[in-house]
């Protein structure tokens, strides 16, 4: 995999993850819910998670059970360490599963681990093959332009979010 394609996968899954989270949270609460650390239409933890899942499960792709179990472990570890790090760095929680059964410090819970395992099966067996085919139609230059634009937007968004958090903390 080239760095350009990995970047495209990251962007694609960050956007798809953001859309899924906005839709599910909004439907469950009956109103539009804006979530996440960043303001743009992407959630990098989903991009990172999908890249990890695709990498870790690659040699087990012929066994959906292994893909499911590995995905549960990988996504739970990512969610736990991300939640813990965000709380330590910024003194805020972006999610809290303390009221769910079988949770660990409120950062992860069994219900979400199972859901991420199922979503990972969809990514590995349905979504990613479609993404691969779709990207084969894009030129190298278009991909490079897309990645450059997305990285610039995410970097500005990240720096703006950091500034906002630290300004709020100082007050």
For residue 136, the enclosing domain spans: 3-170
**The total number of structural domains that make up the chain:** 1
In this prediction, residue 8 carries a pLDDT of 96
CB 61 within 8 A of CB 123: no
Distance CA 116, CA 109 (A): 11
Q: Which residues contact 29 (CB under 8 A, 6 or more apart)?
A: none
Q: What is the mean pLDDT of residues 19-27?
A: 88
pLDDT at 167 over 80: no
pLDDT band, residue 168 (cuts 50/70/90) = low
Closest CA to 120 of 159, 71, 81: 71
Average pLDDT over residues 76-89: 93
What's the mean pLDDT in 87-115? 91
**What's the whole-number mean pLDDT along residues 105-132?**
96
Rounded CA separation 46/154 (Å):
14
pTM of the model: 0.88
Mean pLDDT, rounded, of the chain: 91
């Amino acid at each position: 995999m080239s760095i350009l394609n990995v970047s495209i996968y990251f962007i694609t899954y960050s956007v798809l993850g953001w859309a899924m989270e906005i839709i599910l949270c909004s439907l469950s609460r009956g109103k539009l819910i804006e979530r996440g650390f960043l303001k743009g239409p992407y959630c990098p933890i989903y991009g990172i998670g999908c890249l990890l899942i695709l990498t870790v499960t690659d040699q087990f792709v012929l066994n959906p059970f292994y893909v499911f179990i590995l995905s549960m472990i990988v996504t739970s570890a990512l969610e736990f360490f991300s939640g813990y790090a965000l709380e330590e760095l910024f003194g805020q929680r972006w999610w809290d599963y303390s009221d769910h059964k079988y949770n660990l410090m409120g950062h992860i819970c069994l219900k979400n681990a199972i859901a991420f395992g199922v979503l990972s099966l969809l990514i590995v067996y349905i979504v990613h093959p479609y993404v691969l085919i779709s990207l084969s139609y894009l030129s190298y230059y278009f991909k490079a332009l897309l990645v450059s634009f997305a990285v610039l937007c995410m970097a500005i968004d990240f720096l703006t979010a950091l500034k906002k958090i630290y300004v709020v903390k100082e007050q």
